[in-house]
Amino acid sequence: MLLQAELISSASSDPEVLECVQDILRTRRRGADLGLALRENISSVPHPIDLKTAVLQAVENLRAVWEAESNLEGRELQLSLEIDDPLPQVHATESDRNDFVIDLLNNEN
């Protein structure tokens, strides 16, 4: 959403459009603040985590961002994902799971 708002902002000089973009950015900041507050309340007790589901959800959540970034750079995105079945469940906190998935998806090797 942030990337799309920035694209609109850079492509338009219409004051009404720019005000709408500012509304989007303010809403995004409020959402980020709310997300931070929620993460601080996430249970720190480890529990079973299904890694395959966590990775699939993260990829779907990030797909639009990756597509927009690749379009800006003039590249075509071809995303393929192969996950062996079954992956073992792990015991982790939500924070640990999120960190693991982010690290996994950012791994370029």
Q: Are residues 98 and 49 in the same domain?
A: yes
C-alpha to C-alpha distances, 63 to 54, 89, 109, nearest whole angstrom: 14, 24, 19
C-alpha to C-alpha distances, 18 to 29, 82, 100, nearest whole angstrom: 17, 41, 37
pLDDT tens, position by position, 54-68 = 888 888 877 877 887
Q: Are residues 48 and 33 in the same domain?
A: no
DSSP letter for 86, please: P
Q: How many domains does the chain have?
A: 2
Residue written as tokens 């959403």? 1
Q: Are residues 51 and 26 in the same domain?
A: no
Q: Are residues 50 and 71 in the same domain?
A: yes
The CA distance from 91 to 49, in Å, is 6
Split at pLDDT 50, 70, 90, the class of 4 is confident
The CA distance from 56 to 76, in Å, is 21
Residue written as tokens 């603040």? 33
- Segments forming the whole domain that contains residue 74: 44-109
